[in-house]
Amino acid sequence: MAAFKIAVLEGDGIGPEIMAEAVKLLKVVAERSGLELDLGYGAFGASAYFSHGRAFPDETKRLCDEAQAILKGPIGLSHEESQKIPVDEQPERGALLPLRRRYNTFANFRPVYLPQELAHFSPLKSAVIGSGIDFIIIRELVGGLYFGAKESGINAQGKRYVTESLEYDEDQISRIAHVAFDTAMGRKKVLHNIHKSNVLKSSVLWNEIIAEVGANYPEVEVRHILVDAAATYLCLNPGQFDVMVMENMFGDILSDQGGGILGSLGLMPSACVGPEKAYYEPSHGSAPDIAGQNIANPYSMIGSVAMMLEMSLHLPEEGSRLWQAMRRVFGRGYCTPDLSQETDVKMISTSDFGDLVVEELAAAD
């Protein structure tokens, strides 16, 4: 069998440290399942700008073009450091958005999951959490404000101005709606449609298409919630959600809130899926303030490997073993500094976490 080609983009800040753990686990899983891997590393993000003069260098583009899946670490710098890079080469605009556009990764899956035994990580009261948190945000990833027309300059009154447009056409909405309904069919058959149709015309079209696509899925119950109200319900009653679908910017904001109710963005992996290729990344940033200290939580990066095993390598059992192994490590009372301020917990480093997951995987055999 030919080796499975993966482009590995370590990114900035804590990226290389958490990627090292993710790759360690990926190799353990590959070994166990007889999978041959061909890993190619590429420069990407602010570090690539400094080493190659481009945030998404041509050789990295080629590496990604040839890969069957892409594993990507977080990118970005502190606000001050970012100012040293020209606006269009800053890693979000110069690398990440071009990566999403290049592979048209319109479907972003962001699971928000905390089993009951880890519920103590959440800032929410146990009465609110009930039996844990378990829903998935499906975020449209290549449309809306992020990719709409932008213009800035001086207006007729001599004032600096900017406009950015929130653009969607029916096909863009329809394809993400199908993904959301299909996901709902595989879960509880309840889909929360998040919108702002009381103000935005884009949401009016969005809702129309949701209704049209929904007609093909009579078993799925659709519940419509305004995005601002959804933000409140995520705190007051997250248990009501199972699958949520929304446009790009709403998904950016609510998925960070998802990390907040879990207790850390370090618990938020994600998959970004396009027609031909998917890439996998944590939902969080590169945390430059703690980079290089071996204290970052690698769960989101290893979880992204688990999602890659499930979605690109079609090894759902291996993915699920990896999830379970990570949760058992936390279940044994270990935690990384993002998850607790308490002193009596068993605090572990980034690499300790990876090693303990390796141990748990071996013990499960």
Query: Which residues in this chain contact ligand IPM in the complex, by CB under 6 A?
Result: 76, 92, 96, 252, 283
Alpha helices in the chain (DSSP H): 15-33, 46-52, 58-66, 79-82, 91, 97-102, 126-129, 170-185, 201-214, 227-236, 248-262, 299-311, 316-331, 350-363
Catalytic-residue membership of 252 = yes
Cα 137 from Cα 139, distance rounded (Å): 6
Cα 75 from Cα 81, distance rounded (Å): 13
End-to-end Cα spacing for the chain: 24
> Residue 10 interacts with Mn ion (CB under 5 A)?
no
Contact assessment for residue 333 and residue 279, using Cβ atoms and an 8 Å cutoff: no
Task: Name the minimum Å distance from CB 196 to ligand IPM.
Answer: 18
Task: Name the minimum Å distance from CB 146 to ligand IPM.
Answer: 7
Question: Which among 72, 196, 277, 299 is annotated as catalytic?
Answer: 196
User: Toward ligand IPM, which CB reaches closer, 106 or 181?
Assistant: 106
User: Toward Mn ion, which CB reaches closer, 47 or 286?
Assistant: 286
Question: Which among 146, 168, 217, 280 is annotated as catalytic?
Answer: 146
Site for Mn ion in 236-255 (CB under 5 A): 252
Catalytic-residue membership of 256 = yes
Q: Are strands 278-282 and 269-273 parallel, antiparallel or unpaired?
A: antiparallel
Question: Which among 38, 65, 169, 228 is annotated as catalytic?
Answer: 228
**Measured between alpha carbons, how far is residue 53 from residues 87, 90, 319 in Å?**
13, 11, 37
304 binds, among ligand IPM, Mn ion, none (CB under 5 to 8 A by kind): none
Q: Are strands 243-246 and 107-115 parallel, antiparallel or unpaired?
A: unpaired
Catalytic-residue membership of 146 = yes
* 304: its two tokens: 């992204």
96 binds, among ligand IPM, Mn ion, none (CB under 5 to 8 A by kind): ligand IPM
Question: Which among 256, 334, 352, 355 is annotated as catalytic?
Answer: 256
Cα 26 from Cα 109, distance rounded (Å): 20
Task: Name the minimum Å distance from CB 253 to ligand IPM.
Answer: 9
> Residue 281 interacts with Mn ion (CB under 5 A)?
no
* 242: its two tokens: 């199972």
266 binds, among ligand IPM, Mn ion, none (CB under 5 to 8 A by kind): none
User: Toward Mn ion, which CB reaches closer, 13 or 354?
Assistant: 13
User: Toward ligand IPM, which CB reaches closer, 281 or 360?
Assistant: 281
Contact assessment for residue 274 and residue 106, using Cβ atoms and an 8 Å cutoff: yes
User: Toward ligand IPM, which CB reaches closer, 29 or 142?
Assistant: 142
Residues that bind Mn ion (CB under 5 A): 252
Active site residues: 146, 196, 228, 252, 256
